[in-house]
Amino acid sequence: MTAAQWLRQWLPRKPGSANAGCAGFDPAKPAPAKQGHFGLFVRYYLIVVLIYALVVVGGISAWLSITAENSRGYGEAQLRGTHYLIEQRYLGAPREEWPALGEELSEHFAYPVRLAPLAELRESLTPREYERLLRGEVVMESEDEAYTYQRLPGSDQAVALGNFDDVMVQGVPWSDLDLIDSIVILAMYFLAIALPLYFLVYRFWRDLRRLRTTAEALSAGELDARAPEVTTRLVNPLGHALNQMAGQVQQVLESQRILAQAVAHEIRTPLARMRFGLEMLEQAGGDEERAHLREGLETDIQRLEHLASHSVAYARIGRMVGIERAPVSVSALLADLADVFDPEPPLLLSFDSGGIDSLSAHREALELALRNLIGNALRHARTRVAVSATRTDEGYALCVDDDGEGVPEAERERVFQPFAQLRKHPEGFGLGLALVRVVAEKHGGRATVGESALGGARFRIDLPA
């Protein structure tokens, strides 16, 4: 599940709408009531207790059914001595006193003692149990294991002990009763589930509430809102993903705002010159003057086309959340760049692949960034521009060096901002270096400028391996 899918269920929704987002957010409309953490706890608690009960009861029932025969055998063995003593009392008394003897014995036992006719037991016992009873063995009823029977030798009667489930012990404190023990154990069982689950649900709900507040602020247009650090490890990655998404959205919108303002500013001068040129063209008398004015109009049109293409490239790459990579042959990339540029003497342009066969990058974007760096270097170099690729501890570095005037240290950060130019150039708009930085950042790297061994500036693109 993605961060957007996870948060969608916590965002306010429009009635009758399956999805809610920025388009459906109405600040004037009150947000719907949200479930508190206690209601959430009760719901999860009942689910957990039900699952535990099914597992425990089902497991115990299955185990008892497997071990039922053994448990009856243990019960019969434990009561064998009791049956023997009771049998001796019955055999030592006349038959007519047996009913009274049963009542007397019952007063001294925690369960009833009676005589049951064999004909009666034929109906309640299984055939195998009835055969064992006839042989004089102690038999525990398999139906509910609440009675045991043993035949009195030489009679059609059997001593019946039980029902053991109705044992009433007199004079025992209430705290020692089995029922109280069962209630206390169940209470501790339910409490052992409730306490940790409550604190877990409360922390989970609290962190989600913080993320929900941040998401609502972002949907309301507060793009500088960020999710606070949350303590639940399950939610912590979601907070980081939300902050990363908010940062990317803010960066894209800010770059679009700067781009729109700068394009509007840069486009005024060519348009003013073109309007003035058209007026002069109408008043021009000779062909030579018309040709000169037409050449000026074509130059301004080319500048507008150049501005439009660079603006589109900057906006397109800047909108990318991630960038697709593929193996790029370094030697082939440098060879293509060498075919694009053919500087006139005394300028010398050299390329060095540094022995690197290939690197992982977006070929089109990387080539566009290097073309901007090389074109910028050729405009400022005196005699030499060198393009090189080297391995680093973190990946690869692509460098463009020149022997020009260099970039002052105080201006090395500003040159990468859109439409920033240290020295106004008739063919530039200040988008080339900004595009270089965007390409480097989309690859997870960075673009920097420093001093070159040639004496001028070194522009460097660092890419991770």
Q: For position 446, what pLDDT does the model report? A: 92
pLDDT given for residue 10 in this prediction:
39
Q: What are phi and psi of 342, to 5 degrees?
A: -135, 75
What tokens were used for 243? 């902050």
Q: 154: phi > 0 → left, psi -120 to 50 → alpha, else beta; which?
A: left
Q: End-to-end CA distance of the chain, in Å?
A: 28
Query: Mean pLDDT per segment of 10 residues, for the chain of length 465 residues?
Result: 43 40 42 60 80 78 67 76 90 89 86 89 89 90 80 91 67 57 78 78 80 84 80 77 80 66 61 74 73 74 67 62 82 91 88 92 86 88 94 93 92 79 57 82 90 93 91
**pTM for the model:** 0.44
State both tokens at 141.
């009823």
Report the 10 Å Cβ neighbour count for 440: 22
The pLDDT assigned to 218 comes to 82
Angle between helices 432-442 and 363-380 (to 10 degrees): 150
Both tokens assigned to 61: 């029932």
